[in-house]
Amino acid sequence: MRKRLLCIAPDDAHTAALMTGPIHDWDTCCVDNLADADRVLRADGYPVGLLLRTRALLRSFDLDGFLRRHRDTAWIGVFRPHDVDHAACCDLIVDHLADYHTEPVDPRRLAWTLGHAHGWAQLRRPSAPQDDAGLLVGRADAMVRLRAQVARVARVDAPVLIWGESGSGKELTAQAIHAQSARARGPFVPVNCGAMPPNLIQSELFGYERGAFTGAARARAGLIESAHGGTLFLDEIGDLPKDLQANLLRFLQEKTICRLGSTRALRVDVRVIAASHVQLQRAVAGGDFREDLYYRLAVLPVTVPALRERREDVVTLAEHFFRLYADERSPRLTGFSSRAVAALLDHAWPGNVRELINRVRRALVMADGRLVMPQDLGLESARVTTSALDDVRARTERLALRECLQRSGRNVSRAARELGVSRTTLYRLLSKHGIQP
Ligand SMILES: Nc1ncnc2c1ncn2[C@@H]1O[C@H](COP(=O)(O)OP(=O)(O)OP(=O)(O)O)[C@@H](O)[C@H]1O
> pLDDT tens, 151-198?
999 999 999 999 999 999 999 999 999 999 999 999 999 999 988 887
Residues with CB under 6 A from ligand 1: 136-138, 164, 166-172, 235, 277, 353-354, 357
CATH of domain 141-303: 3.40.50.300
Nearest CA to 273 out of 207, 226, 216, 227 is that of 227
The predicted structure's pLDDT at residue 338:
87
Q: Are strands 371-372 and 265-267 parallel, antiparallel or unpaired?
A: unpaired
Nearest CA to 161 out of 145, 147, 148, 177 is that of 177
Query: pLDDT: is 142 or 404 the higher one?
Result: 142
Q: How many CB atoms lie within 10 A of CB 421?
A: 14
The predicted structure's pLDDT at residue 171:
95
Tens of pLDDT, residue by residue over 39-49, are 888 877 889 99
Mean residue pLDDT of the chain comes to 86
Torsion of CA 329, 332, 338, 342, to 10 degrees: -10
Nearest CA to 284 out of 275, 273, 295, 274 is that of 295
Ligand 1: centre distance to CA 352 (Å): 8
- What is the H or E stretch that residue 339 is in? helix 338-346
Give the mean pLDDT of 60-81: 84
Look up residue 77 and give its amino acid: G
How does residue 295 score in pLDDT terms, banded at 50, 70 and 90? very high
How many whole angstroms separate alpha carbon 49 and alpha carbon 72? 10
How does residue 128 score in pLDDT terms, banded at 50, 70 and 90? very low
Ligand 1: centre distance to CA 361 (Å): 15
Ligand 1: centre distance to CA 171 (Å): 6
CB neighbour list of residue 432: distance below 8 Å, 6 or more residues apart? none
The predicted structure's pLDDT at residue 391:
64
Tens of pLDDT, residue by residue over 389-425, are 566 677 778 878 888 888 888 888 888 888 877 787 7
The predicted structure's pLDDT at residue 106:
86
Residue 54 has pLDDT above 70, yes or no: yes
Secondary structure (3-state) at 189: strand
Residue 131 has pLDDT above 50, yes or no: no
- What is the H or E stretch that residue 169 is in? none
CATH of domain 4-123: 3.40.50.2300
Tens of pLDDT, residue by residue over 84-120, are 888 888 888 887 888 999 988 888 888 889 988 888 8
Domain map (residue ranges) of the chain: 4-123, 141-303, 308-377, 388-432
The predicted structure's pLDDT at residue 129:
42
CB neighbour list of residue 305: distance below 8 Å, 6 or more residues apart? 140, 142, 143, 146, 164, 168
- Domain 308-377 CATH (choose: 3.40.50.150, 1.10.486.10, 1.10.3720.10, 1.10.8.60): 1.10.8.60
**Mutate which of 147, 171, 191, 358 for ligand 1 pocket (most atoms within 8 A of beta carbon):** 171
168 CA closest ligand 1 atom index = 21
CB neighbour list of residue 20: distance below 8 Å, 6 or more residues apart? none
The predicted structure's pLDDT at residue 125:
55
Nearest CA to 263 out of 206, 215, 204 is that of 206
Nearest CA to 353 out of 192, 142, 72, 132 is that of 142
The predicted structure's pLDDT at residue 124:
64
CB neighbour list of residue 282: distance below 8 Å, 6 or more residues apart? none
277 CA closest ligand 1 atom index = 25
Q: Are strands 188-192 and 231-235 parallel, antiparallel or unpaired?
A: parallel
4-123 shares its CATH topology with 308-377: no
Among 132-141, 320-329, 399-408, the range of highest mean pLDDT? 320-329
How many whole angstroms separate alpha carbon 74 and alpha carbon 47? 6
Tens of pLDDT, residue by residue over 18-41, are 766 777 788 888 888 888 888 888
68 contacts 33 by C-beta, under 8 angstroms: no
How does residue 132 score in pLDDT terms, banded at 50, 70 and 90? very low
The predicted structure's pLDDT at residue 272:
97
Q: 372-403: b or e for each residue (b if 16 or more CB lie within 10 Å)?
A: bbbebbebeeeeeeeebeebbeebeebbebeb
Residue 149 has pLDDT above 90, yes or no: yes
> Rg (Cα) of the chain, in Å, rounded?
28
Ligand 1: centre distance to CA 279 (Å): 18
The predicted structure's pLDDT at residue 19:
66
How does residue 224 score in pLDDT terms, banded at 50, 70 and 90? very high
Q: How many CB atoms lie within 10 A of CB 267?
A: 9
How does residue 284 score in pLDDT terms, banded at 50, 70 and 90? very high
